[in-house]
Each structure stands twice: as C-alpha cells, then as structure tokens.
Amino acid sequence: MITRRTLLELAALGAAGVAAEAAEPPFSLPKLPYAYDALEPYIDAQTMQIHHDKHHQAYVDNLNKAVASEPSLAGVSVEDLLRRLDTLPPAVRNAIRNQGGGHANHSLFWVTLTPASKSGKASGQLAKALDQSFGGQDKFVEKLQAAALAQFGSGWAWLSLDGQNNLVLDSAPNQDSPLTAKRQPIFGVDVWEHAYYLKYQNRRADYLKAIVNVINWDYVSQRYSELAR
Ligand code: MN
C-alpha cells in the first residue's frame, strides 16, 4: 500500500530528478578580471560590456546547445573539443568550431588584457624568445599589428607555440582556434568589428595602435613560460 509518506518521498525524488536535469550547463561565461572601463581610453567601457556580456555569452550559450545535442561530448573541455575538431560528429563540428572557438578565444583574450598602468613589458623566457624570433618586443608588436591589419574580415591575429615550441605569429579567420592547428595560443588580438567598431568604426589600425597599450605582459610572459616548458 502506498502511504502518504511514500508519496511525499516520491514527490521529493521527482523534484530532485527535475533539479538534476536542469543542472548547470557545462560551459559558463568567465567574469572579467577588471571593470568594464578599466581599459579606457584605449578600449571603451561600452565595447567591453557588449563584447563580454553579449557576444561572449552568446558563444557560451550556443556551445552549450551544441554539446547538449551530442551526449558523447559530455565532460570534454573546450580546449580538447577544439584539438579534436576533425574527429567530432559532423552534426556538431561546425558549431563547436565557431561557438567553442569563440568561447575559448575570448576566455583567453580577457585575461591577456589589463589596465595600461599595469601593462608592463615581456619578461623572462618570453622576452628572450621575442628577441630571437622577431628582433625584440617592439618589432614583434609591429608585426602583430601588421598581421591583425591584414586579416581580411573577421578573425584574430595569434601568437602561438607550434609542436616544436617555436613561436608562430599569424592570423586566422572567424573563431578558428590555434588549438585546432595543433598549436598552443599564447595570446590573440580580436579583429572582429564587434571588438572596436563603437569607438574606432572602420579604423582597425587605430584600434590596433590602442590595444597594444593594454596587453598584460606579466600574464603573457608567465603563460609562455608554462607552455614552452
Ligand atoms: Mn570578439
């Protein structure tokens, strides 16, 4: 016989089951490590707010939708999804390339920027590697700006490490991640118009002159040392 107590227990179990189904999706928007206006006057607060809260959030939401449709991908990090892109089910491959790339690229982007007063200089192994590969930090920055300027349409300029730990500077369209090309991204410069249009309109070169004032060289130097080990 089903007692009132059993019914209550079953109801509680049902509620727990519903709660489990409504569990947090696997990917979430990371908080900005500084205020929206922290990169002023180089990157304006409104651009930062829309870029982070709207554009990055949309990549996260759409990535969650894509992985929810493919149970075999549960628990896989976004980095591993991008590394394994070629082996993913065709039905979700393009969504993960674009939305997963968007999530990973922007998650790195925010932490590689910092207020201009804290931007600093490349140090340690990265300073040496920039000397050897590009003739120093200033020359590197010029080449980075040139690569970013030359990227036709939306995309990123990337400093990354190849499989032999060589520094590679190039650009890639859309949200394509260096991880898919078997490289480790050190940092990237977003040249989608959403990254600069409110303040710089069509003047991508002005945006590129500005953003190099807010590179977090301490973080980038540390990341290089860890990845090049
Ligand atoms: Mn962006």
User: What is the whole-number distance in angstroms between the Cα of residue 65 and the centre of ligand 1?
Assistant: 20
pLDDT range class, residue 62, cuts 50, 70, 90 = very high
> Tens of pLDDT along 108-162?
999 999 999 999 999 999 999 999 999 999 999 999 999 999 999 999 999 999 9
Task: Report whether pLDDT(21) > 90.
Answer: no
pTM (two decimals): 0.90
Q: Which domains does the chain have, with CATH numbers?
A: 116-227 (3.55.40.20)
Question: For residue 204, is pLDDT > 50?
Answer: yes
Q: What is the mean pLDDT of the chain?
A: 93
Residues 131 and 140: their CA atoms lie apart, in Å, by: 8
Strand positions, DSSP E, 99-177: 155-161, 167-173
What's the gap in Å between 58 CA and the centre of ligand 1? 11
Nearest Cα neighbor of 35 from 120, 122, 113, 119 is: 113
Paired residues of 167 in beta bridges: 161
Going from the Cα of 51 to the center of ligand 1, the distance in angstroms, rounded, reads 6
Q: Rounded distance, CA 38 to CA 54, Å?
A: 18
In this structure, what DSSP letter does residue 191 have? -
Tell me the CA–centroid distance for residue 85 and ligand 1, in Å. 21
Higher-confidence position of 164 and 10: 164
Contact, 59 vs 66, CB < 8 A? Answer: no
Separation of CA 211 from chain center: 16
Give φ, ψ of 29 to 5 degrees: -75, 120
| Stretch 91-114: mean pLDDT | 98
CA 77 – ligand 1 centroid, Å? 20
C-alpha to C-alpha distances, 101 to 56, 109, 149, 228, nearest whole angstrom: 11, 12, 21, 22
Q: Is pLDDT larger for residue 9 or for residue 47?
A: 47
CA–centroid distance, residue 19 to ligand 1 (Å): 33
Residues with Cβ within 8 Å of residue 218, at least 6 apart in sequence? 114, 118, 120, 123
Q: Give, as one character, the DSSP assignment of residue 179.
A: G
Whole-angstrom Cα distance, residue 166 to residue 35?
34
Residue 162, SS3?
A: coil
State the number of CA atoms in the 13 A half-sphere of 219 facing the CB.
18
- Determine the distance separating the centroid of ligand 1 and the alpha carbon of 95, expressed in angstroms: 16
Residue 3 has pLDDT above 70, yes or no: no
Instruction: Give the Å distance between the CA of 193 and the centre of ligand 1.
Output: 8
Which of the 8 DSSP states describes residue 98?
Answer: I
Which residue shows structure tokens 């290089």?
224
Rg (alpha carbons) of the chain, rounded to whole number = 21
